[in-house]
Structure 1
């Protein structure tokens, strides 16, 4: 069967080069019992963020919100069309703590089937299909829930080719994740995106993760409780100088209403990184790297839709 390498957005499949400037990890919508009263669930606020992002040159947002956390797949296509910004949705499961017990019971035993269906058929019976699988590790390791969800994610990846995006708790546990996904479960490192690496100051661990060939997402700028911004230029420069510039990704990871989010990524963080890394590398990180990270040879590509841009 012939295949075409595309990125699966909420409006359909597009060529990778159409992504343009990409926020590789963010949330237009997300809710969790771990963040009571801090739900990101306002379509008007999402519209404002998308408008500002577009005006700053942004063209794609990859939303890592997985199953059961308020993805709002019913709203995403309208926002994408209205503001001319491509949006990639996620399937998968976060840590167990982010769900009520009845949600975890509802997903049943066939997680791989659920993830595959949302990637190929649509989310909750809709025409909106996910373009990546989001899972999560634990602090400095993997608990039973993480192993279960990553095993299902690997099975869905092998059926579809979809990339697997991993929440690393406080930036830790990357090597455990890689041992499981790429070692035991046979996922190619180039299909794995390690999120939140900048939340741990362990540059040796960052280098070891980079040596695997996985993509490295540095996301969540200006989080007061993680102290990420001040060390980010030097961390990225060290990885680029070691030959890993082609694996770097950047994202806003807006998980609370007050987060500066995707406009901050381009308005403030981008020029700051250019001072250390140079404009050419930052441009490649935001465009070419993201295009390679999220492009997939889907087994049954659809007819090409009209572009969101």
Structure 2
């Protein structure tokens, strides 16, 4: 094993700083800790109590640690509830490593600032602008609005419009891929109507397939694993299918839920349940080895 590929030397960006990939333990690799629909904080019928949010997340993370868990990766990205200071406090309180992400998407989740630069006619942001925005959150730290930058993002995430990729979605895919390729962190995509085509765009930007995680791939999961990318699954039967096909090394397992969701209904995440959700013979591979390989910053 070369020094570069040694998981005990490779590091992962957590909210409290770099951690050796070999120290992550069991990883809940594609989760939503806190999801807040943009604008929900202004709704008359919604109350956001930060103390209650902290207590809820602290309980879920403590249960996860007591069940054998070690790390949670929050893939909500920018402007959808990500709270870096909250994650720092939770990590210190519970002893669970937290990896936060940069990125955004699909187009419907973006504000007008990103969709209508001053051009005639208005056009989506080009990929290089998204790449710079996301890359800086890895290289310089994640932005706490109007305050400062905090710890480095450990993953770049984006998503495509479910009904089909828009020009803005393509800019997001290419920008996320370029940021990942430049900084060495992995990229995660939630594809739309054509998962294979969305993956192809990311790979066109020079990202190696084993640096990509694809969530919600549906019937294309096997084909994506055959291309060498990681597939995020939430169903044990689907895990069994890919393992039997010889792709245990490309499977990631997630709860498919959100720990605290504000402004929309979402399945509740139980991170502790994730630990016992897989057959024992593949647990180490899928919950420990595969996430560590994906999350390790290349070139760190």
Bin of the TM-score, shorter chain as denominator length: 0.7 to 0.9
Structure-2-length-normalised TM-score = 0.81
Q: Name the stretch that deviates more: 254-263 or 18-27.
A: 254-263
CA distance in 2 between partners of 1:34 and 1:240 (Å): 41
Aligned residues: 271
Query: 1:45-90, CA deviations, whole angstroms, 9 ceiling, x for partnerless residues?
Result: 1112111111111110000011111200121111101100000010
Q: Name the stretch that deviates more: 187-196 or 256-265.
A: 256-265
CA distance in 2 between partners of 1:34 and 1:97 (Å): 13
Alignment of 1:1-309 (within 5 A): 5-33=10-38, 42-102=53-113, 110-124=129-143, 125-139=148-162, 141-169=164-192, 172-182=193-203, 184-197=204-217, 200=218, 202=219, 205-219=220-234, 232-255=235-258, 257=261, 259-263=267-271, 265-266=273-274, 270-271=276-277, 273-274=278-279, 279-298=280-299, 301=300
Q: Which runs of 5+ in 2 are unaligned?
A: 118-123
Q: Which runs of 5+ in 1 are unaligned?
A: 220-231, 302-309
SS in 1 for 2:189: strand
Query: 1:146-168, CA deviations, whole angstroms, 9 ceiling, x for partnerless residues?
Result: 11111111221221111000113
CA distance in 2 between partners of 1:187 and 1:58 (Å): 29
Query: Pairwise CA RMSD of aligned residues?
Result: 2.7
Contact 2:255 2:274 in 1 (8 A): no
Structure-1-length-normalised TM-score = 0.79
Q: Which has the larger share of helix?
A: 1
Contact 2:108 2:161 in 1 (8 A): no
Note the C-alpha offset of 1:39. Answer: 7.8
SS in 2 for 1:243: coil
Note the C-alpha offset of 1:214. Answer: 0.2
